[in-house]
Amino acid sequence: MASDALVFLSDAHFGSHSGESARRRSFIRFLASLHGTARVFVVGDLFQFWFDLGSTMPKGYFDILEALHRLCESGTRVDYLAGNHDYWRSDFFQRELGISTHVGPLDLDVQGRRIRIQHGDGAGPGDRGYKILKRLLRSRAVVGAARLTHPDLLMALARWMGDRSRAHTDARPPALARLDAAAAEAFAAGRDALVMGHVHTQVHRRLPGGELIVIGDWLDLRSYVRLVNGEFSPGRWEVTA
């Protein structure tokens, strides 16, 4: 890919046990193909669950972490936005891997574009129940209780909840009206594009005021988006093995 490109990817959900070995191999090869690219954005839910707010961190992801580290060492800047499955991160990614982490939307002015990047869970109007749950799960009280829970139990609970959530959301088509409303909010804030993850479908819509780009996922689609010379190009990685 062009060295001045920006690349966006999201929703790999590693640790979900859904064709994990093949998905890891393709993801690692994809990252290797990006060495020297200007900037790569991981737009949330890289893992099915991640929690390292203490002295422990999940095991079993060395290959993914090494691939990200090698990407950084190639000269590529890597930004990692929190998703609804991997919000609970400390400074591990920045300190150990050189990856910049963000807990909320990221506004970026580049290549003549004014872009807002966000994971997208709870974006747009409605879904009040989820928004309340999201606030609760990120509260100090719940995080404090999670610190006191054995990591194996915490991981098992998170995977169970994640599987139930995916079974519920995968059965529904993308709510385009809600996505368009989220994009309109970004345009009203002076942005001319909204790039988001969370919705496991690729979407590229030209709307009054700008563009809406939904990346897709690395669970089924092996999808990504790149930006070159101000133009967004959704793509899919060809699986060779």
Does 1 reside within a domain?
no
Average per-residue pLDDT in the chain? 86
Give the DSSP per-residue string, 144-180. Answer: HHHHTS-HHHHHHHHHHHHHHHHHHHTTS---HHHHH
Does 16 reside within a domain?
yes
* pLDDT above 70 (res 1): no
* pLDDT above 80 (res 108): yes
- HSE-CB at 49 with a 13 A cutoff on CA atoms is 22
**pLDDT digits over 76-102, tens only?**
999 999 998 887 888 899 999 999 999
Beta strand pairing status for 210-214 and 203-207? antiparallel
Does 241 reside within a domain?
no
* Torsions phi, psi for 195 (to 5 deg): -110, 125
CATH number of the domain to which 22 belongs = 3.60.21.10
CA distance 49 to 137: 13
* pLDDT above 60 (res 5): yes
Does 106 reside within a domain?
yes
Does 29 reside within a domain?
yes
Q: Give residue 241's pLDDT.
A: 42
Q: How many domains does the chain have?
A: 1
Other CB atoms within a 10 A radius of the CB of residue 17 amount to 10
Share of the chain above pLDDT 90, in %: 58
Does 96 reside within a domain?
yes
Q: Which of 46, 55, 53 is nearest to 15 (CA)?
A: 46
Residues paired with 223 in a beta bridge: 236
CA distance 182 to 196: 10
Other CB atoms within a 10 A radius of the CB of residue 202 amount to 18
**pLDDT digits over 174-223, tens only?**
688 889 999 999 999 999 999 999 999 999 999 999 999 999 999 999 99
* Helix/strand number for the chain, H first, E second: 7, 11
Question: Which structural domain, as residue segments, surrounds residue 82?
Answer: 6-236
Q: Which of 11, 1, 85 is nearest to 42 (CA)?
A: 11
Does 165 reside within a domain?
yes
| Furthest C-alpha separation in the chain | 50
Report the C-alpha dihedral over residues 151, 157, 160, 164, rounded to 10 degrees: -130
With 0-12 / 13-18 / 19 or more C-beta atoms within 10 angstroms meaning exposed / middle / buried, residue 8 is buried
Q: Give residue 149's pLDDT.
A: 74
| More confident site: 111 or 238 | 111
Does 89 reside within a domain?
yes
In degrees, rounded to 5, the angle at the alpha carbon of residue 106 between the alpha carbons of residues 36 and 2 is 20
Residues paired with 118 in a beta bridge: 196
Residue listed under structure tokens 């064709």: 19
Which 3 state secondary structure label does DSSP give 114?
strand
